[in-house]
Structure 1
Amino acid sequence: MQLFKCDHCDQPVYFDNTFCSYCQNLLGFDGISLSMISLHKNNDGTMTAAGSGINYHYCINHKHDVCNWIIPDSDPATICIACAPNRTVPNTSIPEHLDRWKTIEQAKHRLMYALLKWSLPVKSKILDPDNGLAFDFKSDEYLPEGQRVMTGHASGLITMNIAEADDVEREMAKKNMDEVYRTVLGHFRHEIGHYYWDLLISGSEFLGEFRELYGDEGYSYQEALDRYYNNGAPEDWREHYISAYATMHPWESWAETWAHYMHITDTLETAYSYGLTIAPTVAPVNAGLAAQIDVNAYNCDDFDKIYEKWLPLSIMMNSLNRSMGAQDLYPFIINPSVKEKLRFIHKVIHSQKNKH
């Protein structure tokens, strides 16, 4: 995620901000220009952009403090492009559920930012029932005793158990599943990968290349799931996959790798936005530990350039975390097979981006 600036006073502001701490103007994120807009609140209650003079209104979910995206007053819509796919949201009368929804929306808005940045198709199921996107955020307590809401994807509908927004419950699930990484944003990036497999790979000119890299997806997903949970991952999975779960089925290998491509791109954009240069004092130039993050990965057509900058950055991030006594921020190894899978995802995404 990039660092933004207030277009009224030029002070740095962040993606989630709703006001500028320096000039006190309101802030809203414009999902069309993908920029932060400084807003002056008028006596009649309208809000005018400091730079353009255009009047805006907040998304209806702003009243719950879960969204800071804005819509031009010329558009009668009351809900922004990031919130439009929401089909089921938590009960806002329960403070704990509202807090969890806020955590979920912070992650989902970052997801939507990336999809819009790449010009990937993002359309609500309300507008496109067959190919559109929808989100259900649900709680176990509304199910019969013993049943659980399962986080997952099915035909464009992404369901998330709101318990994932609770740090303690998520850490317990991470431990029980023997996972090295589990975040709300990570879940979104994985599940949206399934959605874009259906949209961009299934029946497309990319399907043959997908099968060469990931395997033939035409066998029973349920049988693959049962086999994975009964037997676990093959002992040599680290040689061919980004995670143990990716071994379960070609669809899961795609979704796991897609999520990592999003991790890499967005983190590199942050480093680029901060003007980060990595120049270890004790490592020789050819050690692969140095990098100048001088390109925004979202806009970079050259996958090798992205990959070359990611390796030093991920090593540095892990080293910083260890200095704080924390776990590695990126506890993964990108083997040659995964590198080529990432390259393929890069090609698929940029084929869409270049259409616009």
Structure 2
Amino acid sequence: MKLFSCPSCSQVVFFENVVCERCNHALGYEPRSNRMLALEPADGLWVEAGRHSQGRRWKYCQNHQYGVCNWLIAADSGDGLCAACRHNVTVPDLADAENISLWRRMEGAKHRMIYTAMRLGLPLQTRDEHPEGLGFEFLSSDTATGEAVMTGHDDGLITIALAEADDAERENRRTAMGEPYRTLLGHFRHEVGHWYWDRLVRDGGALEACRVVFGNDEQDYSDALQAHYANGPRPDWQNFFVSSYAGSHAWEDFAETWAHYFHIVDTLETGNSWGVTVDPRVDGQGLLTTTIDFDVFAHEITIQDVADAWLALSAALNSFNRSMGHSDLYPFVLNEVVIGKLGFIHDLVHGRIGHGKQTWRAE
């Protein structure tokens, strides 16, 4: 994630900020230019402020009123929802204040996932634009029937159980499932991976190339998952997959690898924004030494560049977490097979595999 600054006073600000703590200007994120804008009220709208302002007018996404979105829309646009919120199909019942709090956490994760997709120039059709466009339903379990909501993907419609936004409940589920890592952001990155398999692999001319790397996706999906949950993960999964769940089916292997690619590039962008250098005093061979001084989204960056920097950065971050008594920030091992799979994702999102992609172009 990029580190931003207030255009009015140059104070460091963050992706979710809505007010600058130094100059008190309202703030909003403008996705096409990937900038945080300082704003002043003007006749029911907002006018851009700051030394380089051209006086352009903006409006907030309609969901700004609920405190769940700070993205901006051009004042003359007919859209009421921003480029992230227009993918929502079902939101929680807003008559319940607790739902709004949980929804805010949902949107924070979803906006970060969409930010990365935009930085990678990936297609982002809505359900209105394509029958299998990307849509989100945030659902609560039915208390009357006891029917639980299952997080999952169905032809572009991604369902996220609202309970996943509750930290205690999500931790209970993580423990029950024996997972080393379970976050809201991870859910969004994983589930959207299924949608991008449809768009970029199935519909993008990359099916045969993908099968060479991830295996036979024609294996019965339901049977594969039932076998995984009944028998547990295959005993040698660490040799071939980024997680035990990735070994259940080729689709899950792709989605898990996709999610990890998003984890890695977003964190490396953060490292670049913060000017991070990792140079351990005892690393005589330089294996854990890196300076993250590159744009991880640049077309010329190789997966080996990414993997080398990530090895050093993740090792350092895990050590910091342990020093604070927390679990590893990134409790996974990237062997050569997994790096190869990440390399497929890397080439896929950069248009080097298949028919290419629709690019999100900055104005």
Please report the TM-score for the alignment, with normalisation by the length of structure 2.
0.94
**Cα distance, 1:46 vs. partner?**
2.4
Q: 1:118 touches 1:353 (CA, 8 Å); kept in 2?
A: no
Partner of 1:290: 289
**Cα distance, 1:10 vs. partner?**
1.4
Q: Does 1 or 2 have the higher relative contact order (CA < 8 Å, sep 6+)?
A: 2
Matches of 2:178 and 2:28, distance apart in 1 = 39
Matched, 1:105 2:107: yes
SS of the counterpart of 2:85?
coil
Matches of 2:358 and 2:88, distance apart in 1 = 28
Q: 2:303 touches 2:339 (CA, 8 Å); kept in 1?
A: no
**Cα distance, 1:22 vs. partner?**
1.0
Counterpart code for 1:87: V
Counterpart code for 2:273: S
Structure 1 unmatched ranges of 5 or more: none
Partner of 1:250: 250
Partner of 1:131: 132
Partner of 1:188: 188
Q: 1:266 touches 1:298 (CA, 8 Å); kept in 2?
A: no
Matched, 1:79 2:81: yes
Cα deviation per residue 1:112-136 (whole Å; 9 max; x = unaligned)?
A: 10111111111210222x2311100
Partner of 2:94: 92
**Cα distance, 1:11 vs. partner?**
1.4
Cα deviation per residue 1:33-80 (whole Å; 9 max; x = unaligned)?
A: 1211111123x3321011121010100000000000011112121110
Q: CA RMSD in A?
A: 1.3
Give the stretch that moved more between structures: 267-276 or 206-215: 206-215
SS of the counterpart of 1:84?
helix
SS of the counterpart of 1:141?
coil
Q: 1:122 touches 1:133 (CA, 8 Å); kept in 2?
A: yes
Counterpart code for 2:215: G
Q: 2:123 touches 2:358 (CA, 8 Å); kept in 1?
A: no
Consecutive aligned runs of 4 or more in structure 1 exceeding 6 Å deviation: none
Q: 1:321 touches 1:328 (CA, 8 Å); kept in 2?
A: yes
**Cα distance, 1:277 vs. partner?**
0.6
Partner of 1:114: 116
Counterpart code for 2:136: F
**Cα distance, 1:230 vs. partner?**
0.7
Structure 2 unmatched ranges of 5 or more: none
Q: 2:200 touches 2:357 (CA, 8 Å); kept in 1?
A: no
Partner of 1:2: 2
Q: 1:135 touches 1:158 (CA, 8 Å); kept in 2?
A: yes
Matches of 1:40 and 1:146, distance apart in 2 = 48
Q: 2:123 touches 2:357 (CA, 8 Å); kept in 1?
A: no
**Cα distance, 1:354 vs. partner?**
8.8
Partner of 2:44: 45
**Cα distance, 1:335 vs. partner?**
1.4
SS of the counterpart of 1:41?
strand
Matches of 1:262 and 1:52, distance apart in 2 = 34
Matches of 1:146 and 1:25, distance apart in 2 = 46
**Cα distance, 1:141 vs. partner?**
3.1
Cα deviation per residue 1:281-315 (whole Å; 9 max; x = unaligned)?
A: 1221x241110000121225322111110100000
SS of the counterpart of 2:47?
strand
1:1-356 alignment, distance < 5 Å = 1-42=1-42, 44-50=43-49, 51-128=53-130, 130-141=131-142, 144-284=144-284, 286-300=285-299, 301-351=301-351, 352=356
Matches of 2:75 and 2:358, distance apart in 1 = 30
Cα deviation per residue 1:294-347 (whole Å; 9 max; x = unaligned)?
A: 012122532211111010000000000000000000000011111100000000
Q: Percent identity?
A: 43
Counterpart code for 1:23: C
**Cα distance, 1:84 vs. partner?**
0.1
Q: 1:272 touches 1:294 (CA, 8 Å); kept in 2?
A: yes
**Cα distance, 1:147 vs. partner?**
1.3
Please report the TM-score for the alignment, with normalisation by the length of structure 1.
0.96
Matches of 1:8 and 1:146, distance apart in 2 = 52
Cα deviation per residue 1:200-240 (whole Å; 9 max; x = unaligned)?
A: 00154321121111101112101101111110111111000
SS of the counterpart of 2:38?
strand
SS of the counterpart of 1:57?
strand
Query: What number of residue pairs does the alignment pair up?
Result: 352
